Amino acid sequence: MGFIIKLLLTGVAVMLSTYILPGVHVDGFGSALILALVLAVLNAVVRPILVLLTIPVTFLTLGLFLLVINALIILLAEAIVPGFQVDGFLWALIFSIILSIITAIIDLITGR
């Protein structure tokens, strides 16, 4: 049950992020929920592999390269999810940061 609530809250965070950012577009809440599910799967499967492969670069950039990995995950999700569009790498980077902040605020409010 907790996973479903987390997906719903992430869908809300996606919708809020798209209202803030003009370079990110979602067709509706259904697409936002699908995006939340795809992001959960990509963060569980692909992200650890990318982090492992880029340890030297991440070390040299003092961890800032992890933001690039997050943006790449967003761009990969864009290719998978119909109804979700990002206008470029910079918008994906900003979207990942804003989405993380909004998700953290929602988690803080709900006590998760």
Query: Is 22 in a helix, a strand, or coil?
Result: coil
The radius of gyration computed from the CA coordinates of the chain, to the nearest angstrom, equals: 14
- The tokens describing 89, both together, are 């790498």
Q: Are 99 and 9 in contact (CB under 8 A)?
A: no
In the numeric block, the tokens 């599910």 are attached to 37
Give residue 89's pLDDT: 96
Give tens-digit pLDDT for 50-83.
999 999 999 999 999 999 999 999 999 999 999 9
Query: Is 107 in a helix, a strand, or coil?
Result: helix
Whole-prediction pTM value?
A: 0.90
Q: How far is CA 34 from CA 5, 46, 48, 53, 56, in A?
A: 14, 17, 21, 27, 33
